[in-house]
Structures are given as structure tokens and as C-alpha cells.
């Protein structure tokens, strides 16, 4: 275990603080030192609240000295994507329109982490209104990838991916509507969990598409994601789509071996037109899982292009509806690409939108039937490693949407089906860029994905590698 506090995993630092081997102040100061070092090059933070964070650590350390441990994350400093409302705090949503918006309530997911004892480091950059997969932001500038600062982080949880990778925060909440957790996890070399639709309350989280939005963590390990999921999941009176029922013991699941499990590799679509390095890393990941005792089989999934198209139709209409007032009153205050994509939703007739919504149950049933013989499916998150910021800066050019669709073609079907997917660091290109693979599960079976992801991380070290500071 690394003893430099900021380099520890979330579970390690939480344990170290609980056992008084590391104080909350030491852990927080270590993060703040790294933020000061990296932020000028990464642009990962929207706001840094050093003074308030350190004051909170002193209270946390004093409470712990008196035997008062608030919860599983007592004294652990975290920062989150700047779209989770916290009463009294500015929440920009990565936008000019909400540059001065002060939230009057606190999101359920964030409150549950606060109740577990976390300390606020500040807030993290993101794509404007979470509507962009690259990490560009017309108002606040692009977030940079700590593995190569001329490369994108992926989005929309761009700051979350960058900050977790550079060890500026032990974990961060992101959101995933079309790939926004998995893309940054893949491009930045961290672990990201897109949860099942309904697994975590969305109350107090900025909406993009009410049928597709999901809340989830980016962290260094699958075990860290298990810890966070266990704290955030569960029913919420403020969000009727959050499912009731007991929350599984995800930490216990993450300790289980995978011998005897069956993992499916898609026979098409997810293995088509891959960069050779991504294809190599997929093969190596499958081989590692096989060595751990998993049975590997090929699976034939239904036509994923229909799912991708359906996702685009639903997302475009719902996003346009949320933004309609501002589209009328403040179109000049959007970045060009986000404005263009919001306008796309205006052109989709209500009947087509509802057909895409009506088909969703049948499509999910067909998918579940296709994967009935496997415990999870493994696939690349994207066909390539991180492109450069310059080459992916397509703005509102005529081919912008097609560039975006190509980049997100492996993530959108999963959002349409509402399934959970865990992106794990799976290797590096010969040029040193991280590559992730996604494990796709059945509805509400995050435990299986965390089990497989943690087993993979016990025999690999990709998740432990940190980018070097210049």
C-alpha cells in the first residue's frame, strides 16, 4: 500500500483515517497540494475550496479523537461533477447560463456521501449541461488528460476523470446519459460505474434526459466504486424512479472470486473497426479473466445500431424539452456545439419519440434473452484511445454529430437499455495512453460487475498506475 495519502485508494484512505494512521487534514492537504500542482495544466476543477475543506478536516479529526465517526467515509475529501446541487453552493452545470446559480437543495446522492462523513474539496469541470462526450467546454475551456495533456479526457464527466486519474480526489461522482462516466474512465485510466437506471436517486442532480440519466462514481478501483455505490443506492421519496428494496452488499461481492462465471464477448458491433491497440487490449483482458477461472463464450447480441439510434432520439427530445425556455430566451449563451445538439431535438416528432420509448421494454427483453447464458458481457468502451484536443474540437461543424456518434457508439446502447456497466482500466497503448473495457451486466446486477472488475484488478496493476507530474 502506498503511504502517500493522496495516492491511496478511497477504501484505503478511509480505513487509514478511521484507524488514525492518517488524519483527515493530512489526506486533504495532500490532495490540495496535488491540485495546486496539476490544476494549471488540467483545468479539472471548477472551484477549489481549500480553506473551507481544511476547516472541515479539523472538525472531522476532533470528532474522531472523541470516538465520533460519522460514517464509512469520515474525513475523506472528495470533489464531484459540478451538477450535483448542494444548498447554498454555486452549481454551474458547466454552463454560462448557470454560472451564478445557487442551489437551494442538496442532491440525494451527494447528501448520502456527506452523511457518510465526506469533506468537500470543491467542484469539478464538466461538459456544458453534460451534453458532450469529449471534455471540451466552450465557456471554461477543455479539461486535459493527465496522461497526455494535449489529449481529451472524454466527457461529460471530464473533470471527474481527470481529477481521479491525477490523484487530486479519491473519487468523484459523474453522471452517464450516453457514456459520460465510462468515456472519461476509459480515456483517463480510472474505474467508472454506470449504474442501472433507477439504482441511485437522481433527485437534485441536473437533468439532461429523464429516461436515460444515471448517477455513478469514478474512482481508482472497483472496490472503491462498490463502497460508494453501497452508500448512494436505494429508494428515495424525492425520486420515484429510484427502486426500493434492499441494497446488496457490494463490498462483499467485490471480494468474491470469478472462477466458474461465464463472460460473453460480442461476436459483432463491439469488436468491429477497433483500433489495433484496443483490439489487443480486449484480447489480453479476456485472457486474464480466463486465467482467473472465468469461462469465455461468444454472444450474439441484437442489432445495436437500432439501440444507438433510439438512444439518440430519446436523448435529443428530452434534452431539448428541458432546455426549451433557454433555447427561446438565451440561445446566445450556449456553446455552439451544445446549442446545435439541443436544436436537434426540435426536429423529432412526438410519435417517433414515443415509439422509441415504447420499444425500450422489448429491446431490453431481447437483450436479456441474448445474454441469458452469461454473467456479464465484456466490450471496449470506445474504438480508440484518447484523441487529441485539437482533432476532436469539432464545434458545430456539419460533421460534428457524426464524430460524436462514432466516439460513443459502444456506450449509447447500454443507456437505452438502462443496464449497468463498469469501465475498468485494462491496459495502455504503446504510446502510453490508457484503455478501458466495459463489463455490461443485467439490470441491477452491479454486484456481478464489481465482482469481476475487482478480481481483474487483483491480478493487474493498470488501476494503480498514476500519471507523472511534469
Partner 1 sequence: MTRPTAKEIKAIADIAGVAVSNEVAERIANSIGPAFEGFASVAGTLPFDLEPATFIVVQQAANTPDKGAAQ
Active site positions, annotated: 81, 156, 180
25 to 52, 76, 166: CA distances (angstroms): 12, 9, 19
Which residue number, 255 or 458, has a Cβ lying nearer to partner 1? 255
CB under 8 A: which stretch of 139-147, 166-174, 245-253, 459-467 binds partner 1? 245-253
* Torsion angle of C-alpha atoms 441, 443, 444, 450, degrees rounded to 10: 10
- The C-alpha atoms of residue 176 and residue 320 are separated, in whole angstroms, by 17
* Interaction between residue 79 and partner 1 (CB under 8 A): no
* 297 beta partners: 264
Which residue number, 125 or 411, has a Cβ lying nearer to partner 1? 411
* Interaction between residue 340 and partner 1 (CB under 8 A): yes
- The C-alpha atoms of residue 103 and residue 450 are separated, in whole angstroms, by 33
Q: Contacting partner 1 (CB under 8 A), which of 47, 50, 286, 357? A: 357
Q: What cell numbers appear for 214 in the block?
A: 444515471
- The C-alpha atoms of residue 191 and residue 424 are separated, in whole angstroms, by 5
- The minimum distance between CB 358 and partner 1, in angstroms, equals 5
* Interaction between residue 129 and partner 1 (CB under 8 A): no
Which residue number, 293 or 361, has a Cβ lying nearer to partner 1? 361
- The C-alpha atoms of residue 358 and residue 456 are separated, in whole angstroms, by 37
- The minimum distance between CB 252 and partner 1, in angstroms, equals 4
Q: Contacting partner 1 (CB under 8 A), which of 306, 333, 383, 428? A: 306
Which residue number, 42 or 400, has a Cβ lying nearer to partner 1? 400
* Interaction between residue 299 and partner 1 (CB under 8 A): no
Query: What are the residues whose beta carbons fall under 8 Å from the beta carbon of 279, sequence distance 6 or more?
Result: 271
Q: Contacting partner 1 (CB under 8 A), which of 20, 21, 305, 330? A: 305
* Interaction between residue 250 and partner 1 (CB under 8 A): yes
* Interaction between residue 310 and partner 1 (CB under 8 A): yes
- The C-alpha atoms of residue 304 and residue 63 are separated, in whole angstroms, by 52
HEC string for 21-57:
CCCHHHHHHHHHHHHHHHHHHHCCEEEECHHHHHHHH
Which residue number, 67 or 246, has a Cβ lying nearer to partner 1? 246
Nearest to 423 by CA among 239, 160, 213, 206: 160
- The minimum distance between CB 309 and partner 1, in angstroms, equals 3
* Beta strand segments in 301-382, E: 376-380
324 to 42, 211, 327, 330, 343: CA distances (angstroms): 33, 17, 5, 10, 9
452 to 185, 375, 440, 447: CA distances (angstroms): 17, 10, 11, 9
Which residue number, 60 or 449, has a Cβ lying nearer to partner 1? 449
Q: 220: helix, coil or strand?
A: coil
Which residue number, 105 or 406, has a Cβ lying nearer to partner 1? 406
- The minimum distance between CB 348 and partner 1, in angstroms, equals 7
Q: Contacting partner 1 (CB under 8 A), which of 352, 370, 394, 466? A: 352
Which residue number, 397 or 469, has a Cβ lying nearer to partner 1? 397
* Beta strand segments in 225-271, E: 262-266
Q: Contacting partner 1 (CB under 8 A), which of 132, 174, 198, 335? A: 198
- The C-alpha atoms of residue 140 and residue 78 are separated, in whole angstroms, by 21
Q: Are 181 and 174 in contact (CB under 8 A)?
A: yes
Which residue number, 63 or 235, has a Cβ lying nearer to partner 1? 235
* Interaction between residue 368 and partner 1 (CB under 8 A): yes
317-336 residues near partner 1, rule: CB under 8 A: 324, 327-328
Q: Contacting partner 1 (CB under 8 A), which of 58, 256, 275, 277? A: 256
* Interaction between residue 267 and partner 1 (CB under 8 A): no
* Beta strand segments in 268-347, E: 295-299
- The minimum distance between CB 250 and partner 1, in angstroms, equals 7
Q: Would you tell me how many other CB atoms lie within 10 Å of the CB of residue 354?
A: 12
* Interaction between residue 273 and partner 1 (CB under 8 A): no
- The minimum distance between CB 220 and partner 1, in angstroms, equals 20
* Interaction between residue 403 and partner 1 (CB under 8 A): no
429-448 residues near partner 1, rule: CB under 8 A: 441-448
* Interaction between residue 451 and partner 1 (CB under 8 A): yes
Instruction: List interacting residues with partner 1 (CB under 8 A).
Output: 196-198, 243, 245, 248-250, 252-253, 255-256, 303, 305-306, 308-310, 312-313, 316, 324, 327-328, 340-341, 343-344, 346-349, 352, 354-362, 364-365, 368, 375, 396, 398, 400-402, 405, 418, 441-452
Amino acid at each position: 500500500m502506498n503511504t502517500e495519502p493522496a495516492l491511496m485508494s478511497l477504501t484505503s484512505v478511509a480505513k487509514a483515517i478511521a484507524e488514525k494512521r492518517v488524519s483527515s487534514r493530512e489526506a486533504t492537504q495532500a490532495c490540495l497540494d496535488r491540485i495546486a500542482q496539476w490544476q494549471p495544466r488540467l483545468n479539472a476543477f471548477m472551484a477549489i475550496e481549500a480553506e473551507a475543506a481544511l476547516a472541515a478536516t479539523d472538525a472531522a479529526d476532533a470528532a474522531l479523537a472523541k470516538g465520533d465517526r460519522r460514517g464509512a467515509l469520515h474525513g475523506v475529501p472528495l470533489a464531484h461533477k459540478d451538477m450535483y446541487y448542494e444548498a447554498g453552493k454555486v452549481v454551474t452545470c458547466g454552463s454560462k447560463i448557470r454560472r451564478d446559480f445557487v442551489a437551494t437543495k442538496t442532491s440525494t446522492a451527494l447528501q448520502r456521501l456527506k452523511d457518510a462523513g465526506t469533506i468537500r474539496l470543491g467542484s469539478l469541470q464538466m461538459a456544458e449541461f453534460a451534453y458532450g462526450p469529449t471534455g471540451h467546454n466552450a465557456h471554461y475551456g477543455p479539461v486535459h488528460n493527465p496522461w497526455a495533456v494535449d489529449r481529451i479526457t472524454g466527457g461529460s464527466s471530464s473533470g471527474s476523470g481527470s481529477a481521479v486519474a491525477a490523484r487530486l480526489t479519491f473519487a468523484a461522482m459523474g453522471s452517464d446519459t450516453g457514456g459520460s462516466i465510462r468515456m472519461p474512465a476509459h480515456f483517463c485510466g480510472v474505474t467508472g460505474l454506470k449504474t442501472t437506471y433507477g439504482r441511485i436517486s437522481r433527485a437534485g442532480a441536473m437533468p439532461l434526459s429523464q429516461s436515460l440519466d444515471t448517477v455513478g462514481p469514478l474512482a481508482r478501483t472497483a472496490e472503491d466504486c462498490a463502497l460508494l455505490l453501497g452508500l448512494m443506492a436505494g429508494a428515495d421519496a424525492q425520486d420515484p424512479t429510484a427502486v426500493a428494496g434492499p441494497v446488496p452488499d457490494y463490498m462483499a461481492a467485490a471480494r468474491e472470486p470469478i472462477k466458474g462465471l461465464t463472460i460473453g464477448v460480442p461476436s459483432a458491433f463491439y469488436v468491429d473497426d477497433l483500433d489495433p491497440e484496443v483490439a489487443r487490449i480486449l484480447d489480453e483482458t479476456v485472457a486474464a479473466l480466463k486465467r482467473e477461472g472465468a469461462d469465455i463464450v461468444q454472444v450474439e447480441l441484437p442489432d445495436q445500431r437500432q439501440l444507438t439510434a433510439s438512444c439518440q432520439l430519446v436523448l435529443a427530445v428530452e434534452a431539448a424539452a428541458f432546455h426549451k425556455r433557454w433555447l427561446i430566451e438565451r440561445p446566445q449563451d450556449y456553446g455552439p456545439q451544445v446549442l446545435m445538439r439541443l436544436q436537434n431535438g426540435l426536429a423529432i416528432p412526438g410519435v417517433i419519440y414515443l415509439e422509441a420509448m415504447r420499444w425500450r421494454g422489448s429491446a431490453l427483453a431481447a437483450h436479456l434473452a441474448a445474454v441469458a447464458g452469461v454473467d456479464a458481457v465484456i466490450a471496449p468502451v470506445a474504438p480508440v484511445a484518447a484523441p487529441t484536443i485539437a482533432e476532436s474540437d469539432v464545434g458545430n461543424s456539419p460533421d460534428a454529430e457524426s464524430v460524436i456518434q462514432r466516439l460513443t457508439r459502444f456506450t449509447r446502447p447500454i443507456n437505452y437499455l438502462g443496464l449497468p456497466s463498469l469501465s475498468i482500466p485494462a491496459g495502455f497503448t504503446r504510446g502510453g495512453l490508457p484503455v478501458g473495457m466495459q463489463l455490461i451486466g443485467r439490470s441491477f446486477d452491479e454486484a456481478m460487475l464489481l465482482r469481476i472488475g475487482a478480481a481483474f484488478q487483483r491480478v493487474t496493476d493498470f488501476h494503480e498506475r498514476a500519471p507523472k507530474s511534469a
